[in-house]
Structure 1
Amino acid sequence: MGTNVYTPEPALTRAAIRGQQMTGTRPSAAVPRFRLLDGLRFLAALAVVIYHFTARDNSAWGVPVGQVFPEFSKISAFGAFGVQLFFIISGFVILLSAWGRDVSSFTASRVGRLFPGYWAGVLLTSFLLLVLWPAGKDISLTQALVNLTMVQEGLGVGHVDGVYWTLWVELKFYLIIGILMAVGMTRVRVLVLCLLWPLIGAMAEETGNPLLANLLVPEFAPLFAGGMLIYMVYREGASVLLLLALGFNAILAGYQTLGGHAQAIEHAAHVTLAPPTVWITVIGLFVIVAAATLTRLNRVPWKFLSMAGSLTFPLYLIHEYWGWWFISLGSPHFPQLAVLPAVIALCLSMAWAVWRFVEKPINPLLRSAVQRGLDRLWVTHADERYPTAPK
């Protein structure tokens, strides 16, 4: 969910990319933003928000949520598939932003983009659960501090907010992209990765190799890989091989979702998702991202979509427990149909505040600081390996 959309880099020749990797230069010229992807990210986050408030099990309304929204919850449960949309978009955008760059600039951009908003989210939610609303969830100060690392799941520590699980999945994707960048990103290697990564992940899951399956995230690998392949079509044009690889990942994503995320939604929202509906939803998400990037829709000039995209990450991070707390305060006194939009508006206001006063000023500073540190580390390493000959 930490993906941002981004001023894409122009397509570069392999020779230019090799030159950048050898000289350490970064791409310069940029093409217009994919503003529609910004809007899709915001809609995906809003769908997840509505799912958590109106379909997923929660005690905020004072009665089972299915009683509050008996019919609407059957529809809003599909908002949970916003996660699948996030991951497809992430595959497209992360490959776009990584192509032609070196590992240090990619790392700096990801750290600068993710951590300020994430730290704000952890601190705000921890303050809520430790001070204002301890009944909301039992967490400890130690747990909150470990969560600031973003790798708490790898350390066996629970998430302060359940939505953080997607960030752990994203970090594994970034690691895979970083390894690909380190060995050299080429068209052939990207294509091989997009075919073998989901396949090996599925095999590891099937054969009971927990370590490999945990690293390769088989349930979500075809979503990332499919997004990467959509970018390859954008970059190079459609070909039979790319389209077949994309179709393979879309089908595998539908199969994995049917056996994983869809069942989790059914359990959490007490709904039944018919398999054809799940298939149509997942395949439809690939079609939507392809339409937003491969057709004239990629030229949509509406700047308000970029503003909406800026709110996506903080909204996703802070909405769940703050929203449930707001609901618990308002639902005993006001009609549910008045409480729901008011709470969404409050969460959007908090997201705007995090963007305006945390992300906007700190993101570029942290990115630059990490970049300088990595550059110094690289220069020091190069000097140690290739010391200047004495005169």
Structure 2
Amino acid sequence: MTASTRSGQAALGPRGARGRRIALLDGLRLVAALMVVFHHYVGYGGGNTASDSAWGRPANTVFHGGAAVGIYLWTGICLFFLISGFVICMSSWGRGLADFAKSRFIRLYPAYWFAVFATTAVLMCWPLVRRPLGVFDVLANLTMLQTAFHVDGVDAAYWTLWTEMQFYLLFAIVVWKGVTYRRVVIFCSLWTVASLLTDYIQVTPLDEIVVSSTSSFFIAGLAFYLMHRFRPNLLLWGIVGISWILSTRYALNHQRDVSAVLGLDVPLWPAVLLVTLAYLVLAAVALGWGGTGRIRWRWLTVAGALTYPLYLLHEAIGWTAIRLLRPHLSPWPSVALVTASMLVAAWLVHRFVERPLAPRLKDGMTRAIRDFRATPAAAAPVGTTLPAQGDPAQESVAAG
């Protein structure tokens, strides 16, 4: 880093301790997850015909007013993406690429592997709302890269995981160089321009890299974190403003798609309103409006821990449970019971899958990274006696 860069960073001045966990974001993540749950159970129901709906008929004929609200709550995903941009920028500050990759792997995969197997098992036992995938498709799902292989997800909700993965791969470029204010701003600007150009010229392969439809949410989240860590300024507000405009366009298009699938003609403005509200909420958290920075309720951390397992488990398993409960319970009690059960299941996954596996995966990946760094880059000359396998330190000494 040059002297001018250092002085620029000092001039901005990090506003206090900015690396610590923000409890309110954990609560917002659970709110976003519950929005998606409500959308799938009450607003969507699994389809618009008796054969593919968990309710045996379109959800809007079951819930009426509830479905009129639920049809818009897919926008919880938009809040997810905004928070993701904020949190990834915060958690990767001062970290190297290896640590970034390790933290993402440990965070994402243990609960995901369990959810893939659990969802497959439920669908094999009760193929009521959808049929399970074949063995090789399930194995492809374990990579979390099934979309890249043109393989269906075990659960339809997993499409967002591929979008998140694309964001991580792009932001890894910044992490590789070192996360700084200037680099994040340049990254946000270039990604915005690339998204606009990709959308304009309609190059599908390039769009798979740029993720033009949803990039605005991640970009805004990154800019909000820079406001939080340093201070808001016209440049950052400009990035957020452009991102909001692009996000409202996405909201309109996605709402049209959802409405078309359900065969309903509904107003589009509530989706735009909810996306705008998501932006305002994250701005409040980033800048501490209304005393949001003082919120430290301990239960919010628990709420955050439930979010990811809840999202992974809720859709296909929840629809199956609703179909099984349908002869025994009326709709609203069924929704309440299944949602509560999914929250309990999410806590069990966190307690007995994520927490035990995370430290083991961390140790294993740490050793693997250490071994990789200790192993000499150049191949040993022919005839060289290699040290005993599994001792990278000896390999390094021998190479010297």
Tell me the TM-score normalized by structure 1.
0.87
- Measure, in 2, the Cα distance between the counterparts of 1:245 and 1:258: 20
Which residue of 10, 26, 34 maps to 1:38? 26
Give distance in 1, aligned partners of 2:312 and 2:67. 22
| Cα distance change of structure 1 residues 82 and 251 upon mapping to structure 2, 3 Å threshold | same
1:349 positional shift: 1.4
- Residue 293 of structure 1 is matched in structure 2 by 286
Counterpart for residue 358 of structure 2: 363
Q: In the TM superposition, what is the alpha-carbon distance from 1:177 to its structure 2 partner?
A: 1.1
Residue 324 of structure 2, aligned match among 323, 329, 332: 329
Whole-angstrom CA distance in 1 between matches of 2:186 and 2:265: 36
The structure 2 residue matched to 1:252, chosen from 246, 258, 264, is 246
Judge conservation of contact 2:27–2:300 (CA < 8 Å) in 1.
Answer: yes
Pairwise CA RMSD of aligned residues?
2.5
Report Cα offsets for 1:304-354 as digits up to 9, x if no partner. Answer: 011011000000001111111111111112211211101111111111111
TM-superposed deviation, 1:57: 4.4
Question: What whole-Å deviation, never above 9, does each CA across 1:196-251 have from its counterpart, x for those lacking one?
Answer: 21221232122121111111111110100000000000111111111112111111
CA gap 1:191/1:30 in 2 versus in 1, 3 angstroms: closer
Assess, with a 3 A threshold, how the Cα gap between structure 1 residues 354 and 131 changes in structure 2: closer, same or farther: same
Asked whether the equivalents of residues 56 and 268 of structure 1 are also in contact (C-alpha less than 8 Å), the reply is no
Secondary structure, counterpart of 1:218 in structure 2: coil
> Corresponding residue for 1:240?
234
Distance 1:32 1:183, change over 3 A: closer
Preserved contact between residue 113 and residue 367 of structure 1 (Cα < 8 Å): no
Q: Does the 8 Å CA contact 2:19/2:90 hold for their aligned counterparts?
A: no
Q: Which runs of 5+ in 2 are unaligned?
A: 10-16, 47-52, 381-395
Q: Which moved more, 1:197-206 or 1:128-137?
A: 128-137
SS at match of 2:375: helix
Matches within 5 A, 1:50-199: 50-58=38-46, 59-133=53-127, 136-199=130-193
Q: Which amino acid aligns with 1:345?
A: A
Structure 1: which amino acid aligns with 2:22?
F
Alpha-carbon displacement from aligned partner over 1:92-136 (angstroms, at most 9, x marks no partner): 000111111000001000000100000010000011112343663
- The 1:157–1:343 alpha-carbon spacing in structure 2 relative to 1, beyond 3 Å, is same
Q: Is the 8 A contact 1:44 1:85 kept in 2?
A: yes
Which 10-residue stretch deviates more, 215-224 or 362-371? 362-371
| 3-state SS in 2 of match to 1:334 | coil
Q: Please tell me whether the aligned partners of residues 222 and 249 of structure 1 are also in contact (alpha carbons under 8 angstroms).
A: yes
Q: 1: CA distance between counterparts of 2:38 and 2:322?
A: 12
CA distance in structure 1 between the partners assigned to 2:109 and 2:375 by the alignment = 26
1:277 is matched with 270
C-alpha contact 1:74 1:271 (8 A) present in aligned 2: no
SS at match of 1:213: helix
Q: Please, which moves more after superposition, 366-375 or 204-213? A: 366-375
Q: Which amino acid aligns with 2:178?
A: G
Deviations 1:283-313 (A, max 9, x none): 2211101112321312311010110110000
Measured after TM superposition, the shift of residue 274 of structure 1 is: 3.2
Partner AA of 2:256 in structure 1: Q
Query: Structure 1 residues 132 and 278 mapped into 2: Cα distance closer, same or farther (>3 Å)?
Result: closer
- Structure with the larger RCO, 1 or 2 (CA within 8 Å, 6+ apart): 1
Between structure 1 and structure 2, the one with the greater Rg is: 2
- Using the alignment, how far apart are the partners of 1:81 and 1:182 within structure 2? 32
CA contact (8 A) 1:202 1:213 kept: no
